[in-house]
Amino acid sequence: MTRFRIVPIETAVAERARRHRVDELGRPVVVQVADSGGFPCRHCLEDAVPGEAMLLFGHSPFTTGGPYREIGPIYVHERSCARRPPSAEIPEQLRRRLLALRGYDAAGNLLDADVVDGRELESLLARLLARDDVAFVHVRNARPGCFSCAIVRA
């Protein structure tokens, strides 16, 4: 299989939400207290524990333009957390969820997408990265559609 790295959101994105309490469109950040495992931080790629404060805000994971560039909801811890270093190690946060993987070309155009149980993420990822024209993959939680992380070739 092609070597890859799982890449969480940049620290600057999380810190802007924590400090300024607005998203990239100037909309207010929402504070929610976790009551279950449905609050995944996109910065450290760990789930919140019950009672922990999380920030919910809009974010676009795209560095490209084009029609697929969208803004959607993501969570980060309200407290400071260490960004998970980009690596090939698949976080448990992804293993516990039904995921949608979307492969894009360098211009940000969608080329292929499918849904997979997180425990079997590698099979779909291998299929997407076998395509030479797939430049990056976005991982989303399949049911709510929230962005989880990016995957790039190593």
Q: Which residues pair with 149 in a beta bridge?
A: 139
67 and 111 in contact (C-beta within 8 Å)?
Answer: no
Query: Six-digit token pair at 36?
Result: 């279950």
pLDDT tens by residue, 13-45: 999 999 999 999 999 999 999 998 789 999 999
Mean pLDDT calculated for residue range 79-89 = 98
Question: Domains in the chain, start-ordered, CATH in brackets?
Answer: 9-77 (3.30.1740), 86-153 (no CATH)
What share of the chain in percent tops pLDDT 70? 100
Q: Is the pTM of this model over 0.85?
A: yes
pLDDT recorded at residue 37: 72
pLDDT of 95 strictly over 80: yes
Q: Which candidate, 149, 124, 150, 151, places its Cα nearest to that of 40? A: 149
> Whole-number mean pLDDT of the chain?
96
CA distances from 107 to 1, 5, 64, 94, 140 (A): 24, 19, 6, 26, 19
pLDDT recorded at residue 111: 98
Distance (Å, rounded) from C-alpha 75 to C-alpha 52? 12
Collapsing DSSP to helix, strand or coil, 18 comes out as helix
pLDDT tens by residue, 103-135: 999 999 999 999 999 999 999 999 999 999 999
pLDDT of 1 strictly over 80: no
Please name the residues in contact with 21: beta carbons below 8 A apart, sequence gap of 6 or more: 28, 29
| Lookup result for tokens 């607005």 | 22
